[in-house]
Chains A and B, each alone.
Chain A
């Protein structure tokens, strides 16, 4: 009799454990790709609900801690995990949110959910040459929005392509620190866009210089941090806000350094 009880207990424990591990991996993936805290909570609670369990999740800047309870709250399993490095990825946010609904509506078994999750994680990002081109065009049109002329737009396009390529190379391929990378990329982009001043190209060289580093402004972290602020996740708000501010300071330093070396005043 006692042995049978133990077996049932063991089975319950195993199911709690495997579900908790899946939920931790899932929420770590969401936090890594830059999801707002409110969405992480909603998605994880939805999956727990699909498996008939209760989840309590704590979201820290670099860690996820969660405790999973069975339906009648007699057994629990706690787990925590640190996030790994990785860039913002809205595609993954969309797909992982969709997965959470599918798990609920189709009552997907756990091993199938995990398979689907691994398949989504392995999806490639947008082609990096396409992104390079789009970023160049984006910053050039930004220059236009600030009343820059066509010559300035061309300068900004070239400066942005170079700066962004450098950022990809240093941070993406060589895994340099993101702050140093931002500083160097800003320096390169600003130094190249000083061409407007040095060779007297176009009538708005100041606009070209000022907009050349704007592709490095961490807009999404700023937006996410305020979203966390609104939802009362003050620790995540502070950490995202500080991260974004540090990057902004780095890009300003890069720009100032370029101005100093090229002997141009803005």
Chain B
């Protein structure tokens, strides 16, 4: 139990560093660094917990993780005084399935390289598998962060109100 808690905390910590680093490329406000880090840690740790302890598939786990980020981004946007998506989008970055995305492109190149039927079919399978996962994960995650903004829209668009 202690081991699990520690590994979840560790996962959250590294996800927070990743979110701040990738977010800083998009020039997130310096004051919002702590907010992004916190949301990213909660979201990624939730996904990690669901995938390792409960053996969930990455798609529903990523959706629930993103939903947590989305729900928390609304109170957070009022605290950090910046739009909800300026906190939740950078927080989502560590969960973007980049590995799936470029594995799909690699498989595409392999398809062109191998003309034999069985090898072609294998790489075609790899291509489709990675592509499907990548697309569905991204769409589900964005629905996860957008749904709360939709539901509480009068709140979330007023975060920057003085």
Residues of A within 8 A of B (CB): 34, 36, 39, 42, 87-95, 97-98, 100-102, 105, 125-126, 130-131, 134-139, 141-142, 144-146, 210-211, 213-215, 217, 219-220, 222-224, 226-227, 229-230, 248-249, 251-253, 255-256, 266
Contact = CB atoms under 8 A, between A and B. Distances in A.
Contacts of B92: 219, 223
A129 to B, nearest CB: 11
B79 interface: no
- Secondary structure type dominating chain B contacts: helix
A31 B138 CA distance: 22
Contacts of A136: 21
A230 B147 CA distance: 10
Interface of B: 11, 13-15, 17-30, 32, 44, 81-83, 85-86, 89-90, 92-94, 96, 98-99, 101-102, 105-106, 109, 138-139, 141-143, 145-146, 157-158, 160-162
Given A87-B26, A98-B81, A137-B17, 9 more contacts: A91-B28, A92-B27, A94-B82, A101-B162, A126-B24, A142-B18, A144-B14, A223-B89, A248-B101
8 contacts: A89-B26, A90-B23, A97-B160, A130-B24, A138-B20, A145-B11, A214-B99, A227-B142
B94 A227 contact: no
A98 B24 CA distance: 20
Contacts of B86: 90, 93-94
Contact of A256 (B25, B98, B101, B109): B109
A91 B81 CA distance: 12
A209 to B, nearest CB: 11
Contacts of A141: 13-15, 17-18, 21
A207 B119 CA distance: 24
